[in-house]
Structure 1
Amino acid sequence: MQRRTGVILAVVVVALLAVGIGAVTFATRSSTLVAAPPPKPAAAFTYDPAAGATGVNPTAPVSVRVANGTLNDVALRDAQGKTVEGTLADDRTSWTASGRLTYGVHYTWSGTATGEDGNAAPLQGTFDTVAPTRQLRGVLNIGDDRTVGVAAPIQIQFDGHVDDRAAVERALTVETSTPVEGAWGWLPDENGGSRIHYRTKEYWPANTKVKVSAKLFGVDYGGGVYGRTDISSSFTIGRSQIVKADANSHRLIVMRGGKQVANYPASYGLASDPDRNTRSGVHVVSEKFTDKRMVSEQFDYDLVEKWAVRMSNNGEFIHANPDTTGVQGSSNVTHGCINLSTDNAKAYYDTAIYGDPVEVTGTPVKLSARDGDIWDWTLSWDQWTGLSAL
């Protein structure tokens, strides 16, 4: 009985060992069934503008971005193979164009990126910029580093008609060293195209530094017409010189910095003839001549006058006229100009600059839009701001 019991125990132990061995074997087989890691992703590109885009504005942002990888090299080329300058981000996941595109050009991407899967992926795709039916040029009236008077308007003359004036006006900025209230106003088309002026509410503060920028390239003027190029200028407002020209006083007074610096006998336009009146209103000095030929078919004269300072585009000047010296200071006999003696005209001529105001008063006919290109100051501030397209 004891031997049989021992045999039975031995069988049980063997059985238990067999079960244990089986359990270990099963656990070992389970570990071999763990799923393999997923494959790493390939590089994926996002283009701006989208690949295949057409009619793209050349000022629009241009970039390419890669997900699941890094950029090795990037090139954006035009049809002639010229590359557009750009900057690769520090983390090499994006590239942004810094060079300007041009109108009507087919651009092509090239380069590669390495994905997380270790494989190189090519950049590819194209886009086309808009091709205008016409490009308009704008010209500023005041060049860099000039010094102008306190009534000088900023003028932009276009060489064609602008339909979308609001779009153009939004592209214009004026920065000043002294705070100034001013506004842009659209005047009737002249000289073959649209024109816009910037006028301050009051005269410019003396010695103000001014920078005007017109970011016109890429601006849609409407009807397939676009801006040709950006323009800008930096200039200075000079001393404040204002001419007080009261026709009834028969004098011409020059104020500089708020103080009177000259008081000249003068003769103004003949008041009894509306065609010969000097126009009342704020005129603006636009140009000057040591010798100016003046011709009038209406009044049958052809003369050369000395020291002529133009104050409007309707033929009004401040100039020397020896023939009226005898009545200067007592009578108004001219055809609309302001006559001074030769010495006084020369003295005034030497001080006058573009943009100086000449405030004519005491005559029955008002300066108006019919009288020339700078009639900005004939309007009230409310009237002027009403000329804005915005």
Structure 2
Amino acid sequence: MHGRRHHRWILGSLAAALLAVTAGCTTGSPGGLTAVAGTSASPSSPASTATAAGPSGSSSPSSPPTSSTTPVPPVATITATPALNSGDLAPADPITIGVAQGTIDALTMTNPDGNPVGGTLSADRASWTSGEPLAFGATYTVAGTATGTDGKQVAIAGTYSTVSPDVQVKNTIYPSDDMTVGVAAPIMVKFGVEPADKAEIAKHVTITTDPQVEGSWAWVQHDDGLWALDYRTKDYWPAGTKVHVEAKLYGVKVADGAYGRADVTSDFVIGRNQVVKADVNSHELVVTQDGQVTATYPASYGRGDNTGDTNLITRSGVHVVTDFDEIKYMSNPAYGYVNIPERWAVRISDNGEFIHANPASTDAQGYANVTHGCVNLSIADAQAYFHSAIWGDPVEVTGTSVQLGPDDGDIYDWGLTWDQWQALAAS
């Protein structure tokens, strides 16, 4: 009996020891068992590391930190000029959409009807550029995808809206299609408003001629208040020259709140070479074609150089024929006449100078200068000259004390020397 009790005591002691070891597995142990998974710990602050005390009161080593997985964003970046979702765009401005660190898989821009807008994808597929002008007052939708160098795909999406149609302005070209004009004819590309950036707008206007001719553009404000790019040749046009002018102004911003309504073009030809020689001291008007005299008319010019009244002087310089009236009512209240009908009137400047018939000065024609600045001919001679002239013919007046210039109205382009004209040239 004693031996069995001793054996039961030994077994009891072993069971107690095992129970103590089992309890230490959950709280800490002298053998350094770590905390179970899920215990919070801060890797950067040892003082806040969770510990578990064993039977001896010592602390266990810090638990290793745990981390969650954060998705890495795609490397491809979409860029656009103008920025996607922009509004109030000029219809003529190109749109470029690109991708950095990647290539474009597919991209479309569609108009409000769902039809695609033409465009070009670059050879390296890094950018797409629109290839046609947009409509006024419309919204366009962009959709596509690009794949980055990391193999991840990103979406391309957005819209563009253009300016309202009510901001359109009209632009014109003169001479117009199919005209035949004289060898001094200027070209006038007129704008509905004064361009804000004249040098930039000038880049949209081009001219081609056959044969090639030396000339240049200059900005001129005409009598109607409109600004124009005028083209003048260095010397007179060669007879028979074919001229094509193109102003690509549709959707182009001309000024704040003003955009070109349409592209405009003109194709015309230069006619025969007819030049009028008007030497006021000869009292004659001489018509030449290709350098040969075809007519000589007795004439009377302005009397201002004789009286000292500069208002009555026929201006010296190259005038340009611009208008024709079989009957022209002329007025100059300061000199006592209003609405006097004159026959076969050919305008040569906007300061009131005409070549026309005037029976009242018949006796002076060929002998003396008695007019208020016009060139007077007989009725028969004025009619003959009227029918020989075309828009753009030069009339070269010489022998007076006042030169034709900007103050004499509209087309004074030939009243400037070539150097003076080039000083006004549009870049």
- TM-score bin (small chain): 0.7 to 0.9
How far, CA to CA, are the matches of 1:134 and 1:192 in structure 2? 20
How far, CA to CA, are the matches of 2:333 and 2:256 in structure 1? 42
- Listed one character per residue, the Cα deviations across residues 105-150 of structure 1 (whole Å, up to 9, x for unaligned) are 321135899xxxxxx9987421233569944332222110101001
State whether residues 150 and 357 of structure 1, in contact with CA within 8 Å, keep that contact through their aligned partners in structure 2: yes
State whether residues 149 and 239 of structure 1, in contact with CA within 8 Å, keep that contact through their aligned partners in structure 2: yes
Instruction: Give the residue type in structure 2 aligned to 1:182.
Output: G
- Listed one character per residue, the Cα deviations across residues 195-254 of structure 1 (whole Å, up to 9, x for unaligned) are 231111111111111111112234333445433322111110111100000000001000
Cα displacement (A) at 1:47: 6.8
How far, CA to CA, are the matches of 2:97 and 2:401 in structure 1? 68
- Which of 335, 340, 343 aligns to 1:303? It is 340
How far, CA to CA, are the matches of 2:324 and 2:220 in structure 1? 24
Q: Secondary structure at the match of 1:344?
A: helix
What does residue 160 of structure 2 align with?
127
What does residue 297 of structure 2 align with?
264
Q: Secondary structure at the match of 1:295?
A: strand
State whether residues 185 and 385 of structure 1, in contact with CA within 8 Å, keep that contact through their aligned partners in structure 2: yes
- Which of 349, 357, 365 aligns to 2:394? It is 357
Gaps of 5+ in 1: 1-40, 114-119
- Listed one character per residue, the Cα deviations across residues 32-79 of structure 1 (whole Å, up to 9, x for unaligned) are xxxxxxxxx9x99987765324454422335779988975x956023x
**Residue 221 in 1 paired to residue 258 in 2?**
no
State whether residues 140 and 232 of structure 1, in contact with CA within 8 Å, keep that contact through their aligned partners in structure 2: yes
Instruction: Give the residue type in structure 2 aligned to 1:52.
Output: N
What does residue 285 of structure 1 align with?
321
- Which of 68, 76, 92 aligns to 2:110? It is 76
What does residue 185 of structure 1 align with?
218
Structure 1 residues 181, 262: closer, same or farther in 2, change over 3 A? same
**Residue 368 in 1 paired to residue 405 in 2?**
yes
Cα displacement (A) at 1:103: 3.7
**Residue 86 in 1 paired to residue 107 in 2?**
no
| Aligned pairs (5 A) from 1:142-161 | 142-161=175-194
Aligned length: 347
Structure 1 residues 182, 291: closer, same or farther in 2, change over 3 A? same
State whether residues 176 and 209 of structure 1, in contact with CA within 8 Å, keep that contact through their aligned partners in structure 2: yes
- Listed one character per residue, the Cα deviations across residues 321-365 of structure 1 (whole Å, up to 9, x for unaligned) are 122222211111111111111111111111100000000011222
Structure 1 residues 291, 386: closer, same or farther in 2, change over 3 A? same
State whether residues 91 and 162 of structure 2, in contact with CA within 8 Å, keep that contact through their aligned partners in structure 1: yes
**Residue 137 in 1 paired to residue 170 in 2?**
yes
What does residue 173 of structure 1 align with?
206
- Listed one character per residue, the Cα deviations across residues 262-285 of structure 1 (whole Å, up to 9, x for unaligned) are 111111111323322211111000
State whether residues 108 and 117 of structure 2, in contact with CA within 8 Å, keep that contact through their aligned partners in structure 1: no
Instruction: Give the residue type in structure 1 aligned to 2:327.
Output: D
How far, CA to CA, are the matches of 2:196 and 2:330 in structure 1? 38
What does residue 10 of structure 1 align with?
none
Q: Secondary structure at the match of 2:220?
A: strand
State whether residues 183 and 271 of structure 2, in contact with CA within 8 Å, keep that contact through their aligned partners in structure 1: yes
Instruction: Give the residue type in structure 1 aligned to 2:271.
Output: G
How far, CA to CA, are the matches of 1:196 and 1:88 in structure 2? 33
**Residue 232 in 1 paired to residue 269 in 2?**
no
- Listed one character per residue, the Cα deviations across residues 157-214 of structure 1 (whole Å, up to 9, x for unaligned) are 2232222111111211111001211111112464233223111111111111111111
Instruction: Give the residue type in structure 1 aligned to 2:110.
Output: L
Instruction: Give the residue type in structure 2 aligned to 1:77.
Output: N
State whether residues 321 and 341 of structure 1, in contact with CA within 8 Å, keep that contact through their aligned partners in structure 2: yes
| Aligned pairs (5 A) from 1:307-326 | 307-326=344-363
Instruction: Give the residue type in structure 2 aligned to 1:215.
Output: K
How far, CA to CA, are the matches of 1:134 and 1:88 in structure 2? 29
Structure 1 residues 68, 171: closer, same or farther in 2, change over 3 A? closer
Q: Secondary structure at the match of 2:294?
A: strand
How far, CA to CA, are the matches of 1:167 and 1:121 in structure 2? 37
What does residue 378 of structure 2 align with?
341
Q: Greater Rg, structure 1 or structure 2?
A: 2
**Residue 107 in 1 paired to residue 140 in 2?**
yes
State whether residues 84 and 101 of structure 1, in contact with CA within 8 Å, keep that contact through their aligned partners in structure 2: no
**After the TM superposition, which of the residue ranges 181-190 and 159-168 deviates more from structure 2?**
181-190
TM-score w.r.t. the length of structure 1 is 0.77
Cα displacement (A) at 1:383: 1.1
TM-score w.r.t. the length of structure 2 is 0.71
Instruction: Give the residue type in structure 2 aligned to 1:316.
Output: E
How far, CA to CA, are the matches of 2:265 and 2:384 in structure 1? 34
- Cα-Cα RMSD: 3.5
Structure 1 residues 386, 320: closer, same or farther in 2, change over 3 A? same
How far, CA to CA, are the matches of 1:82 and 1:232 in structure 2? 31
How far, CA to CA, are the matches of 1:130 and 1:282 in structure 2? 45
State whether residues 319 and 396 of structure 2, in contact with CA within 8 Å, keep that contact through their aligned partners in structure 1: yes
Q: Percent identity?
A: 47
How far, CA to CA, are the matches of 2:181 and 2:95 in structure 1? 40
**Residue 385 in 1 paired to residue 419 in 2?**
no
Structure 1 residues 88, 365: closer, same or farther in 2, change over 3 A? closer
**Residue 329 in 1 paired to residue 362 in 2?**
no
How far, CA to CA, are the matches of 1:251 and 1:219 in structure 2? 50
**After the TM superposition, which of the residue ranges 186-195 and 326-335 deviates more from structure 2?**
186-195
Instruction: Give the residue type in structure 2 aligned to 1:158.
Output: F
Cα displacement (A) at 1:303: 1.4
Gaps of 5+ in 2: 1-73, 147-152
Cα displacement (A) at 1:319: 0.8
